[in-house]
Amino acid sequence: MQQRNLTNGSDEIRINANDTFELKYWAKKFGVTTNQLKSAVKAVGDAPSAVHSQLESIKNSNNTCSTW
């Protein structure tokens, strides 16, 4: 299997929710599960900054992550 790395190239411009590698990468980067990441991408689109803001908003509005 080929090793893939996200760099400052086009892969960091958007989150491909259909790519397992990217889902794992971004979920780890944001400290969430892949399902939480998929939900955020569905809600706000695939821009990493928008997804991060959505996830932070959800984290801040809930004392526990178990509800999202």
Model confidence over 20-65: pLDDT tens digits? 999 999 999 999 999 999 999 999 999 999 999 999 998 888 755 5
pLDDT at 19 over 70: yes
**Range of 46's domain?**
20-58
Residue 7 lies in a domain: no
Q: Are 41 and 53 a contacting pair, CB within 8 Å? A: no
- Tell me the C-alpha distance between 52 and 40, whole Å: 8
Residue 42 lies in a domain: yes
Amino acid 6: pLDDT: 57
Residue 12 lies in a domain: no
Residue 45 lies in a domain: yes
How many folded domains does the chain comprise?
Answer: 1
Residue 50 lies in a domain: yes
Give this prediction's pTM: 0.74
Amino acid 26: pLDDT: 96
Residue 14 lies in a domain: no
Residue 32 lies in a domain: yes
Token readout for 45 is: 């689109």
